[in-house]
Structure 1
Amino acid sequence: MSNSIPADGPLVTGPGDPEHDPGAAYALEPDHVSSLTSLLLATSGETVVTRTPLTGAPLAVLPQSSDADVDEAFRRARRAQQTWSRTSLAHRQQLLLRLHDLVLDRQEEILDLIVWESGKARKHAFDEPLHIALTARYYGRTLNRHLDPRRVPGVFPVLTRAEVNRIPKGVVGVISPWNYPFTMALCDGLAAIAAGNAVVAKPDSQTTLSALYAARLLVEAGFPADLWQVVSGPGPRVGGAIIDRADYVCFTGSTATGRRVAAQAAERLIGASLELGGKNPLLVLRDADVEKAAEGAVRAAFSNAGQLCVSIERMFVADQVYDRFVDRFVARTEAMTLGATLDWGNDMGSLINEDQLRTVVAHVDDAVAKGAHVLTGGRARPDLGPFFYEPTILEGVTPEMACFGNETFGPVVSLYRFSDESEAVDRANDGEYGLNASIYSRDGARARALARRVKCGTVNVNEAFAATFASLGAPMGGMRQSGMGRRQGAEGILRYTETQAVATQRGMPLAPAFGLSDEAYAKVMTASLRVLKRTGRA
């Protein structure tokens, strides 16, 4: 098996003659598709045809995995993990930093593939190789800090040496979504293999090629070929088979599916981290820089056409700046460029499929029918592509409307006035979710104090979502129904390890010795504890 994409031509060619045949505007090279799909462990004989959201044209024929394939994937992964777990941290760090460089070097091919599979704007696709490079560099520089054995106080100074080890769990199952197909396929599993585990990954069928490209880059960087296995197929069948075999499960997706993943993992008493849905709020305080807030609000609501777990869907704006903010936000939204191309220059791309478009249309139509006002947008754009929908700003959304409390996961945001900041925080905390929030204020200290009252796993001050997500030392994840566990930072890697305590006793046992009776031993121990308390040594 070759360790690199064939170098005899570009990954994606085009444009052709889109005026006469839009579906021919770009094409994935068949040899490259075949090279990528060869990485799948899939021998069932079943296939699925995927289509690009840009035009609806066929994209790839993906082989599907059977239960036997999943068994084989775990067999290979477990064998590879036994050797990998004994490799030095220095060697793992070297490979992670090599991956960092590879991702940056190959970013144009990565971006082409992401846009072609997901339909997002190229500038939003760039977030993905950027995030993987940051992840690889972070763990490539910090493995010793997280994984080296750590000394802790023993029961008796000098006599008792105690330390804590971090032992890899084994084989981690990673089930990743379609909305960020490169980074979500790789970032969670990257921490897992850095900790000494192997991975069996199941990406979403719509975006499997991006995940396979990520797997190939791992091999090119020098990671063992069998350490990262990729299987494909429907979530209930193949995802369920992974949970039945894994030592730990990492899932990113909807809250409804996350509950089922958690229940199945609990049956086996294995750990799981779940990053799930959100109905994320943004607060514009009375002292906010309105122009900065409006610019950030566009990115917060419409990055990747709103198909982002941390995307903002509710904006609470202080009375003092509401009208000015709305004017600037609407103007910036209406100035956005939409397009179905692989080129730079588009501000927003397509929704992923018909289901997402149907949800967006239903939420907007329901809101309008019940009295909400569309300030801008509110229309599908089939002239651009089959699943395009305009960035949409709603006013007057009320609790009986579907988009009030349910996640839309599309380019739709609702605006609300507030006069009291405590009331705004209460409204931001309303509902069952708690993933991401954003606060705009000229007073950073005040905004940070307010952030502590917001029930979200990440809160960005004067930024949409990228400040927390790109700060790899900071944990990222949700509260309440938005999930459990964290990616990134120490928590992001330690979740893939078991904690092991090792204590070595010197000189005398922790039991009666030297002829002491049990009663005398108890008195000696009592006196020793009093002395240790007074001296502060243990």
Structure 2
Amino acid sequence: MELTIGREEDLRAYSMHIGGSQVVSERRMDSLDPYTGKVWATVPSGTASDVDRAVAAARAAFDEGPWGRMTATERARCLRRLGDIIARDAEELARCECRDNGKLYREMLGQWRYIPEFFYYYAGMADKLQGDVIPSDRPNFFIYTRREPIGVVGAITPWNSPGLLLTFKLAPGLAAGCTFVVKPSEHTPVSTLELAERVAEAGIPDGVFNVVTGDGTLGAALVNHPGLDKIAFTGATETGKRIAAAAAANLTRVSLELGGKSPNVVFADADLDLAANGAIAGIFGASGQTCMAGSRLLVEDSVHDELLERIASRTREIRLGDPLHPDTEMGPVANEPQHRKVLDYIEVARRDGARIVHGGAAAEGLGGYFVQPTILADVTNDMRIAREEVFGPILSVMKFSGEEEAIRIANDTRFGLAAAVWTENVHRAHRVAHRLRAGTVWINAYRVVSFAAPFGGFKESGLGRENGMDSIREYTETKSVYVELNAQPRDPFQLG
């Protein structure tokens, strides 16, 4: 299939979406195409007053609007329509996201073609959020529970996969009956604004889905807003900690999907071709800009050199270039600050004693924010490059001897988002998977997600879970209802 899409030269101008209206602002922000380094779209630079209006619109839609009065079955119909509309427009949405963050068009297209499945899945779950009948210890009471929507959600999304990572929040939240105020990254706001138009087309009432755009000060105004019932955030761990602290002031519920330093553990009995492919996909896919990136490759010492050469040989062939071109395998990083950060980490690793096997510099002659896919050997787990999340195409390779050392090194991190085990020994595969402290563990695979499987982290990789049945519970509260069966007065000063 031909995936090449041309770049139109017309500058796109977008508005915020608040309460069903398009809201303009005198202050504007530019969205740069990371491949060309040129402005391709502009969006409003919102203010705290815009956040106030958006939260008020979401509150009215929840408390007084038709969304709050809809049955779960009616909400499910809206979600299915939204899924159909996204499927219809997947190519345009993917193209916008590619222009915003520089990721491969074919990857973005694959994501947007998969996103409807999330809405179909949660549409099927919307009318199955049933409570329980509680066996009562008091014969004069009938007790049951209800699962009710948590209320107004403030969602803050990152720049690496804004559409997919918003969907992780939006699909279960809408199914539960919540309303949203979304603040996308200032680097990648366009696909979220495009999605807002399609949410309205799906018949979801005004005020249910609001989008405000701006920099970090706007995000701070949102997370500090007392009108929110929940904050759902995906992004850096340090930012997540600040959000949790701000939310605590208002006792706002939070779910945080944060950073990772995920270990890819390869034992000597693994299929090395598959392991090499998995290591490359885990760190150079999406230019390393995924929270689940397999940035630490742990290799049993007896096969270390052989696997390293296989990975290096394939890495030398990676085609960098225009992310809209079908032959491109790795595009630029998403923005100038990230480009500078990745290059700085390479220098830190070099000074700490890591050996550069491949890459180690900016990719010249391509324009935009390109970094060569970089492989570092002789890395030890106490180096900064092995401790801190980089969010770029840098693979740190370490040796281990035996299963116990592999598990010790893998778990020796403040993060716990993802991990992988490569082995042909089925007993070892499950044994090691059980001992790895990570929210997702792949066996002989890497970088796979599903709408049906919970995703989230241990330790400093976050709080709560996205996707699966666990996720919809994050957007509900449990209410207990006691029904008195005997219409007789009882002692008003005695509990029960």
TM exceeds 0.5?
yes
Distance, in Å, in 1 between the alignment partners of 2:4 and 2:189 is 19
**Counterpart AA for 1:203:** P
- Out of 379, 391, 408, the residue aligned to residue 426 of structure 1 is 408
Distance, in Å, in 2 between the alignment partners of 1:399 and 1:38 is 45
Distance, in Å, in 1 between the alignment partners of 2:269 and 2:487 is 66
Higher helix share: 1
Q: Counterpart of 1:18?
A: none
- Out of 41, 48, 52, the residue aligned to residue 60 of structure 1 is 41
Q: Kindly state the Cα deviation for residue 332 of structure 1 after the two structures are TM-superposed.
A: 2.0
Q: Counterpart of 1:483?
A: 462
Check 1:487–1:14 CA distance in 2 against 1; reply closer, same or farther (3 A cut).
closer
Distance, in Å, in 2 between the alignment partners of 1:95 and 1:301 is 37
**Counterpart AA for 1:50:** S
Distance, in Å, in 1 between the alignment partners of 2:143 and 2:203 is 35
Distance, in Å, in 2 between the alignment partners of 1:182 and 1:306 is 18
Report % sequence identity.
34
8 Å CA contact 1:66, 1:238 repeated in 2 = no
8 Å CA contact 1:377, 1:391 repeated in 2 = yes
With 204-213 and 57-66 compared, the bigger mean Cα shift is at 57-66
Check 1:154–1:29 CA distance in 2 against 1; reply closer, same or farther (3 A cut).
farther
Q: How does 1:70-149 map to 2 (within 5 A)?
A: 70-82=51-63, 83-145=66-128, 147-149=129-131
TM-score in terms of structure 1 length: 0.85
Q: Kindly state the Cα deviation for residue 299 of structure 1 after the two structures are TM-superposed.
A: 0.8
- Deviations 1:230-281 (Å, cap 9, x if unpaired)? 1111223443334313111011111111111000100111110111111111
Q: Does 1:153 align with 2:135?
A: yes
- Out of 339, 344, 349, the residue aligned to residue 362 of structure 1 is 344
**Counterpart AA for 1:315:** L
Check 1:438–1:49 CA distance in 2 against 1; reply closer, same or farther (3 A cut).
same
Q: Does 1:460 align with 2:442?
A: yes
Q: Counterpart of 1:533?
A: none
**Counterpart AA for 1:74:** V
**Counterpart AA for 1:60:** A
Q: Does 1:175 align with 2:153?
A: no
Q: Does 1:198 align with 2:202?
A: no
Q: Segments of 4+ in structure 1 off by > 6 A?
A: 508-513
Q: Does 1:260 align with 2:239?
A: no
- Deviations 1:32-89 (Å, cap 9, x if unpaired)? x33x436366555211122110110112222121222111111211121233122111
Q: Counterpart of 1:305?
A: 287
Distance, in Å, in 2 between the alignment partners of 1:135 and 1:243 is 29
Gaps spanning 5+ residues in structure 1: where? Answer: 1-11, 16-25, 519-524, 526-538
Gaps spanning 5+ residues in structure 2: where? Answer: none
Structure whose alpha-carbon radius of gyration is higher: 1
Check 1:340–1:332 CA distance in 2 against 1; reply closer, same or farther (3 A cut).
same
SS of the residue aligned with 1:277? coil
Root-mean-square deviation (CA, aligned residues, Å) is 2.4
Q: Kindly state the Cα deviation for residue 366 of structure 1 after the two structures are TM-superposed.
A: 2.2
**Counterpart AA for 2:231:** V
Distance, in Å, in 1 between the alignment partners of 2:84 and 2:291 is 27
Distance, in Å, in 2 between the alignment partners of 1:66 and 1:512 is 55
Q: Counterpart of 1:446?
A: 428
Distance, in Å, in 2 between the alignment partners of 1:348 and 1:109 is 21
**Counterpart AA for 2:148:** I
Distance, in Å, in 2 between the alignment partners of 1:258 and 1:378 is 30
Q: Kindly state the Cα deviation for residue 396 of structure 1 after the two structures are TM-superposed.
A: 0.8
8 Å CA contact 1:340, 1:385 repeated in 2 = no
Distance, in Å, in 2 between the alignment partners of 1:126 and 1:438 is 26
- Deviations 1:183-222 (Å, cap 9, x if unpaired)? 1233312221211111000001111111111222212222
Q: Kindly state the Cα deviation for residue 161 of structure 1 after the two structures are TM-superposed.
A: 2.8
Q: How does 1:316-465 map to 2 (within 5 A)?
A: 316-398=298-380, 401-465=383-447
Distance, in Å, in 1 between the alignment partners of 2:249 and 2:297 is 40
Check 1:427–1:509 CA distance in 2 against 1; reply closer, same or farther (3 A cut).
farther
Q: Kindly state the Cα deviation for residue 90 of structure 1 after the two structures are TM-superposed.
A: 1.3
- Deviations 1:324-369 (Å, cap 9, x if unpaired)? 3222222222222111241322211110112111121111122223
Distance, in Å, in 2 between the alignment partners of 1:13 and 1:443 is 43
SS of the residue aligned with 1:282? strand
Q: Counterpart of 2:191?
A: 210
Distance, in Å, in 2 between the alignment partners of 1:433 and 1:511 is 55
- Deviations 1:370-401 (Å, cap 9, x if unpaired)? 32211222221131222101111110123564
Q: Kindly state the Cα deviation for residue 449 of structure 1 after the two structures are TM-superposed.
A: 2.6
Check 1:341–1:43 CA distance in 2 against 1; reply closer, same or farther (3 A cut).
closer
Check 1:304–1:14 CA distance in 2 against 1; reply closer, same or farther (3 A cut).
closer
Q: Kindly state the Cα deviation for residue 494 of structure 1 after the two structures are TM-superposed.
A: 1.2
8 Å CA contact 1:70, 1:242 repeated in 2 = no
Q: Kindly state the Cα deviation for residue 451 of structure 1 after the two structures are TM-superposed.
A: 1.3
Check 1:163–1:28 CA distance in 2 against 1; reply closer, same or farther (3 A cut).
farther
Q: Counterpart of 1:22?
A: none
8 Å CA contact 1:284, 1:441 repeated in 2 = yes
Distance, in Å, in 2 between the alignment partners of 1:343 and 1:403 is 32
SS of the residue aligned with 2:207? helix
Distance, in Å, in 1 between the alignment partners of 2:106 and 2:218 is 34
